[in-house]
Chains A and B, each alone.
Chain A
Amino acid sequence: MTTPITLVAAGSALPGDAPAPATLRKVDHRGGLPSPSVDALGAKFGTAVKRVDVVWGETTVVVDGGRLQEIVRWLHDDPSQRYEYLSDLTAVEFRDSEQPLEVVWHLRSIAFRRFLRLKVLLPRGTPLEVQSVWPIYKGADWLERECYDMFGIRFAGHPDLRRILMWEQYKEGFPLRKDFPLRGRFSRAEQLRQALAANPEARYSMEELSIADAFEDLPQEMRARLRSGEKTGE
């Protein structure tokens, strides 16, 4: 039996006439060439593309949050774009409390060796909600959960949006928001009191306890407590 493992000298799917990739040097702060995908996006989606910035050689496209999923799906599926890889998904809150929150997607087209940053602005006073890209990239699952956990941004269409790094009973809010103090919202004494008062049994979520008989095996009192929803962190 043979287990093949091949050694590849360079990326295979590069179009024939494209220049070989090279280390970026002396990148301009602003005013570099935008990604070739920008024109295609503008032609396809028109006004849904709100702004295009090129900073340090990277193209940022600010798009309409209402059409985000449609745009990402097109970028993913269209044979001339093929952004098949979601590098990262995160959010930015500025120190200036007037500036909108930004949700940021970093997409890669491995076939064309392109990189694109998509942004949706969430102005102050509007609900912090954007469309989920989970139906397109399964890798967005934990990234969106983390973004929700840290910023409180809800992703509509995510199948299981709950806290991931903080525990489900966490009540102090969303740690990466600028109004969240570095040391946490509660005093050390209060944090300790809550930690000691936590029910160790509640470490299983309802979903886990519903597995087969495990839930039925619990004492009546604990079942009632878990049914009353002793899990959400909001």
Chain B
Amino acid sequence: MTEHAPTDAALREIVSADGVHVVHVWAPWCDNSLNEHEPVWSDWAGLGADSVTFVTVWNESERGAATLRETGVEGVRELVVPGPKPEKPDRRLRLLGVPVTWIPTTLVFNRNGLLATAFAYGEVTREQLVEAVNGARDDW
């Protein structure tokens, strides 16, 4: 399982801040990722998170900014994990200590960098994600 230290370090700084932080792992060529854009991510600012970061992976080191704009996800922060698109069995990486073996994967952090929720299979719904963000903000 591969790691990319610079991306991990940048993400660590983001999620270590106070509040609730969403990290979304995707690729422009992935239909499952694109299926989420309009219903889930077009109003990313309205999720109620303190930050939302898209991490583009397995995309020949290219950014996905153009695809994000075309699919209605405007102005979101994007980081890129460089590298080629691997074959399916090799699509495995680790971000912030969490294995990513499927895209789209969505991670929610709270408590200054601790994982609260991971949706690491299928497609997440807006309702699920809002519930996860709200839940991560609760004081238990």
Do A and B pair up? The answer is no
